[in-house]
Chains A and B, each alone.
Chain A
Amino acid sequence: MIEELHDEKVKFLEEKANEIRQLIIEMLLEAGSGHSAGPLGMADIFSAFYFHILRHDPQNPDWPDRDRLILSNGHICPVRYAAMALAGYFPIEELKTLRKIDSRLQGHPHRTTLPGVETSSGPLGEGISQAIGIAYAGILDKKDYHVYCLTSDGEHQEGNTWEAYMWLGKNPLPNLTIIIDRNYIQIDGVTEDVMPLEPLKQKLESFGLHVLEVDGHNIRSFVDAIRETKSEWRRTSVIIAYTIPGKGVSFMEKKFEWHGKPPNKEEAKKALDELRTLGGKIISEHQ
């Protein structure tokens, strides 16, 4: 049962999202490579998952009754690592090892390396199929865990994604919810220029899915949407979450150029100043 958010919890989750964003910038700077825009854009949703929605236990990541959060677009893993560290899965200090040798924080997530990561991902379009398998196992075993699968919009150009949707049209799984990070960017540019996805909602509905649309930066709306999917028991739900890539760092926002690169030292400082002052709304601790 996911509780409705009260004002204080919303504030708490927003603060966590801000902390996640700062950690993303710090770890990318340290790593010297990686993706900036996607992780920043998903910080609010990850805050909602790790600090409100998921039934989980960071001290017991293999707990059989845990909810499963499947990250299909593995390249945004810095946001997952940051949220996991804040939630207590591993020391925050370890985030500095991202993408470095002997680290548990692989450039794209590896299930058997880091407890709490449910699948290995990076190659796109493979998450929903795996989420189906995990959800189906839950039904066979009469478990009540819920499976959430986070996907990117770009990976909706992969055939595998639609193979999985077609399967769900025939075999609806009420214990599976899919979230699409609709940020309109991909490596080569804007999705609608590279390979148009629209009308995305209609396409999904024509596959027999229950589709909701939500502002991916409004944590209350997002949690409400997740709550709403719980009452849909005939179809699998898909939430299209509209997000702004690079959200929170003004010079990265909506720029596909920031899809696959990290900030340099100067850019990182600027980004952190912005995040710590919430865009100049409070006085920076560094000023």
Chain B
Amino acid sequence: MLNPKLKLNPKIFDQEVEQKPIRDGYGDALVELGEKNPNVVVLTADLTESTRSNKFAEKFPQRFIECGVAEQNMAGIAAGLGVSGKIAFISSYAAFSPGKNWETIRTTIVYNDSNVKIAGHHSGIVTGPDGATHQATEDIAITRCWPNIRVISPCDYWEAKKATLYSAEVYGPFYIRYVRDKTPIITTEETPFRFGKIEEFWVPQTNADKNLVAVFATGHLVYQALLAAKDLEEEGIDVYVLNVHTIKPLDVEKIFEITKKVKGIITLEDHQVQGGMGSAIGEALMNIDFQRQYGFFSIPPIKFLGLQNTFAESGNPDELIQKYGMNKEAVKRAVYEFLNAN
């Protein structure tokens, strides 16, 4: 069942569930931040409206910096602002920033420990009709490998807004990934956002006999995991659905706590399975130091759902997540596989 403690959207399973773009959470947070803190500055590389930086730009023109189609320059200017008392947000598509300007960010923002928040928009294959060039599906891999950065992948509008607001409170580099299209509202304004914590969005009714599967999901696909959990509940199958909004630092303690209780793990992300959130969980579980720390050595098998070493293509988001095995049906199939493997 839905975890009652988290004040999640009670209408989440309605046919007409409210939908809102995750990127709007970024835009609305920027305006709030702009009003609250005169040191917040926003930069873009010719993508003001589509990264939802436009409201900030209208309200605070002096603190908004248009860089033109020049992602390296944008990262460098932000790095300079960030070491000079400013909190700089750089807004572009994740395929270009941190895609195209990866080394600039590495040197001038991350290694340099500058107070810059990298907003990677149009992440995932649900960027849809634009095709694979614009569907960032490696951004988690190429950011979480850096030391000295925090990586967040919010599941909906509210979480995106809270994550954006939070990032301004903490000095140093952040990477946050956002999604273009409307996606279902999973949380509410009241749902707590606890940076660095994995949250149990769906909890098993019974604690029965370890015949459980845990689904670790991130981003908008948390919704698909919840849909699967709901269907499975009706079939009498209990699962966990965990929302992994913070990919770095990873909540290793929670991962082990859950892993001890299950016979199989599914990871679900709109990203390449190589190097993504699932890989991060796999690395943690296979790490002998963590195994010793948490006193648990018999790691169950993991099913990695996400892009399987391929680029996706143009199409509408629902078609794409079906074809590339990221929808609720894919989750259910993976659960059945584990349960039938007795």
Contacts and interface: CB of A to CB of B under 8 A. Distances in A.
Interface of A: 110-112, 118-123, 125-138, 140-141, 159-160, 163-164, 166-167
B77 interface: yes
Interface residues of B, number: 29
Nearest to B88: A133
A176 to B, nearest CB: 10
A166 B70 contact: yes
B73 to A, nearest CB: 4
A72 B30 CA distance: 31
B68 A119 contact: no
Contacts, number: 104
Given A129-B72, A159-B72, A136 B77 contact: yes
Given A120-B112, A126-B104, A167-B70, 6 more contacts: A121-B107, A122-B107, A129-B104, A134-B80, A160-B72, A166-B70
Contacts of B83: 111, 118-119, 130, 133-134
Best-buried of B67, B78, B108 by chain A (most CB within 10 Å): B108
Contacts of A140: 41, 62-63, 86
A271 B36 CA distance: 59
A130 B76 contact: yes
A120 to B, nearest CB: 4
Given A111-B113, A129-B76, A164-B73, A120 B85 contact: no
Contacts of A119: 79-80, 83, 108, 112
Given A163-B72, A163-B73, A167-B73, A126 B84 contact: no
A138 B68 CA distance: 22
Contacts of B76: 126-130, 132-133, 160, 164
Given A159-B72, A164-B73, A166-B70, A137 B111 contact: no
Nearest to B45: A163
A45 B32 CA distance: 46
A165 to B, nearest CB: 9
10 contacts: A123-B103, A128-B76, A129-B75, A130-B77, A132-B80, A133-B86, A135-B80, A136-B80, A167-B73, A167-B77
A126 B88 CA distance: 17
Contacts of A120: 107-108, 111-112
Given A137-B85, A141-B85, A167 B67 contact: yes
B124 interface: no
B278 interface: no
B139 to A, nearest CB: 20
A120 B105 CA distance: 11
B82 interface: yes
A133 B82 CA distance: 8
A133 B80 contact: yes
A136 B70 CA distance: 18
B31 interface: no
B70 to A, nearest CB: 4
A111 B85 contact: no
Nearest to A128: B76
Nearest to B148: A112
Contacts of B65: 136
Interface centre among B68, B76, B80, B103 (most CB of A within 10 A): B80
Identify the interface centre among B72, B75, B85: most chain A CB within 10 Å of its CB: B72
Contacts of A132: 73, 76-77, 80
A138 B73 CA distance: 18
Contacts of B77: 129-130, 132-133, 136, 164, 167
A118 B108 CA distance: 11
A110 B111 CA distance: 8
B252 interface: no
A215 to B, nearest CB: 30
A137 B87 CA distance: 10
B70 A131 contact: no
B141 interface: no
Contacts of A123: 103-104, 107
B72 A133 contact: no
Nearest to A111: B112
Contact of B70 (A110, A133, A163): A163
Contacts of A131: 80
A156 to B, nearest CB: 14
B86 A112 contact: no
B81 interface: yes
